[in-house]
A and B are shown apart, each in its own frame.
Chain A
Amino acid sequence: MSDQSSTVSQEAPGMAESLYTPYLATIEQAVQETWDTRTFRAVFCDERTRAEFAYHPGQFQEVSVFGVGEATFCLTSSPTQKGYVEFSVKRVGSVTTALHELSEGDTIGIRGPYGNWFPYDELRGKNLLFVGGGIGMAPLRSLLNYCLDRRSDYGHIDIFYGARTPGDLCYTREFDSWAQSPNTALYLTVDKGDEKWTGHVGVVPAHVREISPSLDNAVAITCGPPIMIKFTLPELLKLGFTDEQILTTLEMRMKCGVGKCGRCNIGHTYVCLDGPVFTYAQIRQLPPEF
């Protein structure tokens, strides 16, 4: 009988090889988007990391506040924006609260980029329909700004974005540049207006139904609270999008981000490895557990 293979005798690994050690980064800018959401712009401390860190719209990273912990955030900047990365943080727990208490100049850790990404190459030449709700706009913004920075590569772009109230809308400082981009339309709505709001009032799926954008050769990309997705999907199907033409990005509690800790699976799919970007066709194959 021949020896079975043994895994004995491997060399001891060095620092670069641990999956769990983050890069160091400095907070360059912190913008208060809403009462509970801040967008951070971070620059890697190490020059080589700054030059080499490359990501695609749709990917995520694990952000550390040393001593408090790590949490998952999608990259909300576009890779066309050089020299920094951005992520938006909604204050809901201990790590997010600790992040909110940081100032410009503070040091954080970043591991990533992880996950798959929006197929921006395959979207070239297509008309795009973005449908975002609340903080769900964060991952969409990465793809949206990418497309707007490569404007001639993409067709007509419709952006539907809504939040509970005007005060919950994120990225308001970019609305003008989105709306004024050529061949691009921005449709904002809020569930409930205030005394200053003069825009549309109504939930995002209803707004989509009212405007009924007719786009052929189009792909829809949507992200938002589960309730918004639930009612948006039928509207998209009614508009003629097939399951393959609807993209979304899922969120699950994550820890390692690299498919080891076993936490983020939906069925046999790990959101950190095979997602977070999925087509609706893929989602229909998954067990209803997210």
Chain B
Amino acid sequence: MAEINATMLGASELLPWALRLAASRRVLAPIAGTDGAVRYLPVSPDATLVFSGGRPVRGPKEHFMPQTDPLFTFTGSGPAVALQPVFNHEPAVIFGVRPCDGRALRSLDNVFLRRRETDAHYAARRGQTIMVGLACAEPGWGCFCTTVGGSPAGTDGLDLLLTDLGDRYHVRILTSAGRELLEDTVCSPSSDTEERLAAEQHARAIVRLQLAFDSNRIAERVTWDSPIWERVARRCLECGVCNFLCPLCHCFDIQDETTADGGIRFRCWDTCQFDEFTKMGAGHNPRAGRKERLRQRMSHKFKYLVEEFGQAGCTGCGRCVEMCPVNIDIRAVLAELGTVPSAEHPAK
């Protein structure tokens, strides 16, 4: 029997489905917190899933890379100290994952799974989490996924892709894990009309996303000596929001915290925009200025990761664009790179 690749799910079926799944696993969905910000939180019977508008300001990265992530505990002291690795993962489903965030997982996979050794903490979560995507009908004002090879209806990194048609969802089945998940709910076959409605919504969203810069040969245009770095970095506050909200920024610090009978070694989010990021014990800092750190961020995303994996470290989610308090716009920087010759700047 031929496998169907699309099906329809009634809108009123979604939350009951999520709650049924929550009986046996961790189920996250975009829910407004008490501060109003939408993040991926555990579903509850009175939850209101926020599917409208642009992607949530906090993405599902924190499920795979918790902001504070215990690595092991140590108890006792001396030669009797006992180390216990922490692998706190469980089967999970995340609903409402935007295509930019799904695609971002590929970049995290490159670092944690593909580059040399496998990071088992990340792999365990990744291997047990099913991603139910949601196509974007209304991209945010900072979004630029199509500029970097993505799409508001992209499927990369997802197991299912939902398209909201009002009273029902068009469901595109992408993996066997997604297909199995649907067994816990009631679906009906999709019609040609519904296929067309979904495609039209995707096309409308794509049209709204104008190309922000020429991503062709971007790695060549990210030059070391560009005068742009100095000029743009001048206003950076080193707040770290760009890295923290980015769905694929992964740099972390490792620290210890002591408890009554020992302690915890954990890793936590870090940012290459902080002065201490590369500062060595004796004081030497290869990236002592904001210019050097901004150059690192852009080069890492659009040059080094491209050279290593063939994929830029950016999926155009637009969070850094919308949330930077001093309006450093990564799209503008990339548009300008390559148009301003390095020789123009006398101070270099």
Contact = CB atoms under 8 A, between A and B. Distances in A.
Interface string A48-72: 0000000000000000101111110
B269 to A, nearest CB: 11
A105 to B, nearest CB: 8
Contacts of A67: 74, 256, 258, 262-263
A8 B159 contact: yes
Nearest to A13: B120
Given A3-B176, A92-B282, 18 more contacts: A1-B5, A10-B126, A18-B121, A20-B72, A20-B85, A20-B121, A20-B254, A20-B265, A22-B83, A68-B256, A69-B254, A90-B281, A253-B278, A253-B280, A262-B272, A263-B270, A263-B278, A287-B224
A13 to B, nearest CB: 4
B344 interface: no
A96 interface: yes
A5 B159 CA distance: 9
A157 to B, nearest CB: 29
Contact of B281 (A6, A93, A109): A93
Contacts of B308: 268
A93 B281 CA distance: 6
A26 to B, nearest CB: 6
B335 interface: no
Among all A-B residue pairs, the 6 with the closest Cβ atoms: A10-B127, A262-B251, A268-B304, A92-B281, A6-B175, A13-B120
Contact of A6 (B5, B116, B176, B282): B176
A66 B116 contact: no
A233 interface: no
A185 interface: no
Nearest to B175: A6
The dominant DSSP class at the A interface is loop
B129 A13 contact: no
B44 to A, nearest CB: 25
A45 interface: yes
Contacts of A267: 299, 304
A252 interface: yes
B281 A96 contact: yes
B112 A4 contact: no
A262 B128 contact: no
B85 A21 contact: yes
A289 B292 contact: yes
Given A13-B120, A261-B251, A66 B262 contact: yes
B111 interface: yes
Contacts of A13: 87, 120, 123-124
Contacts of A21: 71-72, 83, 85
B61 interface: no
Interface residues of B, number: 73
A255 B254 contact: yes
A193 interface: no
Given A96-B281, A107-B79, A268-B303, A9 B71 contact: no
Contacts of A265: 296, 300, 304
Interface of A: 1, 3-13, 15, 17-22, 24, 26, 45, 64, 66-71, 90, 92-93, 96, 105-107, 109, 226, 251-253, 255-256, 258-263, 265-268, 273, 287, 289-290
Interface string B66-96: 0000011010011101011101010000000
Contacts of B210: none
A58 to B, nearest CB: 18
Nearest to A288: B224
Contacts of B87: 12-13, 18
Contacts of B83: 21-22, 24, 109
Contact of A10 (B77, B124, B174): B124
A70 B179 CA distance: 45
Given A7-B126, A12-B89, A260 B120 contact: no
Nearest to B75: A66
Nearest to B78: A107
Given A90-B282, A267-B304, A268-B308, A15 B81 contact: no
Contacts of B287: 289
A266 B127 CA distance: 32
Given A12-B89, A66-B263, A4 B174 contact: yes
Contacts of B130: 8
Nearest to A66: B74
Nearest to A270: B115
Given A13-B123, A96-B281, A261 B5 contact: no
A259 to B, nearest CB: 5
Contacts of B118: 17
A9 B127 contact: yes
A253 B279 contact: yes
Given A9-B177, A10-B127, A262 B252 contact: yes
A228 to B, nearest CB: 13
Contacts of A106: 78
B331 interface: no
Contacts of B124: 10, 12-13
Contacts of B85: 15, 18, 20-21
B111 A260 contact: yes
Contacts of B123: 10, 13
Nearest to A92: B281
